[in-house]
Structure 1
Amino acid sequence: MTADASAATPDSGTREKRTTGILPSQTIREMIRGGQIASDMPVIDGQIQPSSIDLRLGAEAYRVRASFLPGRSATVAERLETLAMHRIDLRDGAVLEKGCVYIVRLQESVSLPPKVSGTANPKSSTGRLDIFTRLITDHGTEFETVREGYNGPLYAEISPRTFSVLARTGSRLNQLRFRRGTPVASDAAMRRLQDSVVLVHGQEADIKEGVAVSVDLTGEPKTGLIGYKAKQHTGLIDIDKPNGYDVLDFWEPLFRQPNRPGELILDPDEFYILASKEYLSVPLDHAAEMRAYDTKVGEFRVHYAGFFDPGFGMSEAGGEATRGVLEVRSHDVPFVITDGQVVCRLVYEPLTEIPDKVYGAGGIGSNYQGQGLKLGKHFRSQPIANPRS
């Protein structure tokens, strides 16, 4: 979850710098100035987030027969020669249809120094539209990973799952986080953070391979609203058009069921927006990632967009402890989830230093600071009434 413009952090630089960790916004700017991050067009400051950089779509997309990884012996361009079905010009905008897979070369490329690697994730608004997107590199053997010392182009695999979308050159669907060395993300360190700055508010923190995040199915006190289920047959969504769409044209509100309180049956291959029971925060000198899928919690995937920035839910950044929004898709069979069930885990990693911009501070356009149950920024806020009331 990221912000969209720059702002100074009042206590930037007052804590000790680390030799390993996630690289903050000021270091990302240094990488741009030094040519380690390059782009077809000048990088704008709005792309630079507290602990990541937004990546922009290039001029053309390729519809491909299937998702792929190039493997150690091939580049993405070489694999496209055999897998591409047709080329799509994105310069004036183009429709990316749901159920199809596209490959787009991004405007940004990197030339990473030794011991610096990268991890990518969809932006929050991308995940809340159920757009499945992953980063690919030349000679890559893993999605969402830029290996240490990589020098070359970056590509996005894009597959809208629920809504067909209108995208164009310059649209930002994913973000890249850089890491120097191998910082430790241990449970012991997270317990110390819980004791000192509080990561989970209002209840005991369950920390084991990360901070446990559970689902809230009690709903809003007045309406009983517990979430939203995406409609299958809808209009087109322009991914660069915030506040452009009515909620009820695209979503079915879900309410607490009087006869089955605290339960929700997830239908196979349907997409849901739910909220966490926990109120969460991320210290200014840490970043967090919500891990997308764990077979131990059930046959569903939680949270496509996994980055939580420094300052999320922190009073120092002008916010307060904030619920996490969960993007949930069931697989294969119907699955019953219950109120308070652990659905994913949030892993905290240290930054090398406090960023010079933090999530939610100084009016920098943080869309989800202080959120409750909240759809993506593309949908207009409106009261949702319970038809049973």
Structure 2
Amino acid sequence: MAQAFNANGSGILPDRSILALTKASHVRPSAPYVEGQVQPASLDLRLGPVAYRVRASFLPGPQASVEKRIEALRLHAVDLTGNGAVLETGCVYIVPLMESLALPADISATANPKSSTGRLDVFTRVIADRSRGFDQVAAGYEGPLYAEISPRTFPVLVRQGSRLSQIRFRRGETALDAVQLRALHARERLVDADDADLTHGVAVGVDLSGNFAGGLIGYRAKRHTGLIDVDLRGGYDVGDFWEPMSARSDNSLILDPNEFYILASKEAVQVPPDHAAEMVPFDPLVGEFRVHYAGFFDPGFGYAGAGGRGARAVLEVRSREVPFILEHGQIVGRLIYEKMMARPDTLYGQGIGSNYQAQGLKLSKHFRS
């Protein structure tokens, strides 16, 4: 019988509470955690030993398990042990994860791709049994977790233990309301804009001026490249995979359909130690593009006390069916701030090997600076 998990109050669970959940068998890893897997406000999820290529993406629905749906839709199995295997672009794979759950009745969870996963245009979502939505785990859920993986631009080499997704645990109402957000911004200056838009979260615009990166505004992914090993840091030349883009005289950018771009926010943002944040789309009705696959911002991101000076939000942008013009400063997303149940023992960037503290325009950790 699982030991009871004791914690008071509402909020996002910090690192030590994630470890307490694990000790109490509410989080059940099939192997001990590796270094860096427990983050300040989230847990990295590891791929298991096999991937199943399936005909199509799916949700199991309230009456079915993911395993049953895999049996009906699988094309073949891919061994991820040893040296791993290549996941091809345009294909959908389902991978059982090494972490399963037996959550308390008052703890729910949400998942998101890791930053490095989103910056490779690897579409990744977490699925739980009997679920009606991706990346959502209901309070009290007991069962396995699975990752749906679909590389969009680059083929990727993955293996058992690769970490593409992360999960956050929460109790109760965690999001700040408008009054709380304004008060927090007054104390901490969450964004370096005198006219900050705090309606339904902190508004984030796109930088197309090039003023912060020597005239560079972003990168467009090349097609027909080599593969990328998701566990290899600093192993690839930028020019083999990306085309740099310089600022135009009118500070605009035309997004071409089905192309993938890395851009940066106009504003520098920060997340104070007692809070976490998540980037959400601004409004799907204002443009034919998708922004920011990987949305979690940990406590201490961009925070001066954790080695930051404010940090640009890197934006993963993909246009849809038609060309679309982005203008400098156009709002493309909003940061929703949530309170932590307690301050984490370690903040983002504070001696834990965080890859993107005080970042500007930055590709994923796989590319050489």
Using the size of structure 1 for normalisation, the TM-score is: 0.91
Determine helix, strand or coil for the equivalent of 2:36: helix
**1:365 aligned residue:** 353
Instruction: Look up the equivalent residue of 2:151 and give its one-letter code.
Output: P
User: Which has the bigger relative contact order, CA under 8 A and spacing at least 6?
Assistant: 1
Say yes or no: does 1:160 pair with 2:151: yes
Question: How far apart are residue 257 of structure 1 and its match?
Answer: 2.0
Instruction: Look up the equivalent residue of 1:210 and give its one-letter code.
Output: G
| Alpha-carbon separation, structure 1, partners of 2:77 and 2:345 | 40
Q: CA RMSD in A?
A: 1.2
Instruction: Look up the equivalent residue of 1:349 and give its one-letter code.
Output: E
Say yes or no: does 1:350 pair with 2:342: no
**1:188 aligned residue:** 179
Say yes or no: does 1:374 pair with 2:362: yes
Say yes or no: does 1:270 pair with 2:291: no
Instruction: Look up the equivalent residue of 1:134 and give its one-letter code.
Output: R
Say yes or no: does 1:51 pair with 2:74: no
Question: How far apart are residue 204 of structure 1 and its match?
Answer: 2.1
**2:50 aligned residue:** 60
| Alpha-carbon separation, structure 1, partners of 2:31 and 2:186 | 45
Return the match for 1:289 from 278, 287, 290. Answer: 278
Q: Aligned pair in 2 of structure 1 residues 327, 47: CA closer, same or farther (>3 Å)? A: same
Determine helix, strand or coil for the equivalent of 2:179: helix
| Alpha-carbon separation, structure 1, partners of 2:334 and 2:213 | 29
| Alpha-carbon separation, structure 1, partners of 2:274 and 2:208 | 32
**2:62 aligned residue:** 72
Question: How far apart are residue 190 of structure 1 and its match?
Answer: 1.0
Deviations 1:172-194 (A, max 9, x none): 00000001112243122111111
Determine helix, strand or coil for the equivalent of 2:144: strand
Using the size of structure 2 for normalisation, the TM-score is: 0.96
Q: Aligned pair in 2 of structure 1 residues 184, 323: CA closer, same or farther (>3 Å)? A: closer
Q: Which ranges in structure 1 are unaligned for 5 or more consecutive residues?
A: 1-16, 382-389
| Alpha-carbon separation, structure 2, partners of 1:334 and 1:37 | 44
Return the match for 2:88 from 97, 101, 121. Answer: 97
Question: How far apart are residue 203 of structure 1 and its match?
Answer: 3.0
Deviations 1:295-333 (A, max 9, x none): 133111100000000001111112211111000001111
Question: How far apart are residue 61 of structure 1 and its match?
Answer: 0.2
Instruction: Look up the equivalent residue of 2:23 and give its one-letter code.
Output: R
Q: Is the 8 A contact 2:212 2:360 kept in 1?
A: no
Question: How far apart are residue 18 of structure 1 and its match?
Answer: 6.5
Q: Is the 8 A contact 1:303 1:326 kept in 2?
A: yes
Q: Is the 8 A contact 2:213 2:361 kept in 1?
A: no
Instruction: Look up the equivalent residue of 2:186 and give its one-letter code.
Output: D
Instruction: Look up the equivalent residue of 1:85 and give its one-letter code.
Output: L
Q: Which ranges in structure 2 are unaligned for 5 or more consecutive residues?
A: 1-6
Determine helix, strand or coil for the equivalent of 2:333: strand
Return the match for 2:231 from 240, 243, 248. Answer: 240
| Alpha-carbon separation, structure 2, partners of 1:202 and 1:292 | 20
Determine helix, strand or coil for the equivalent of 2:56: coil
**2:117 aligned residue:** 126
Q: Aligned residues: percent identity?
A: 60
Question: How far apart are residue 46 of structure 1 and its match?
Answer: 1.5
Q: Is the 8 A contact 1:297 1:344 kept in 2?
A: no
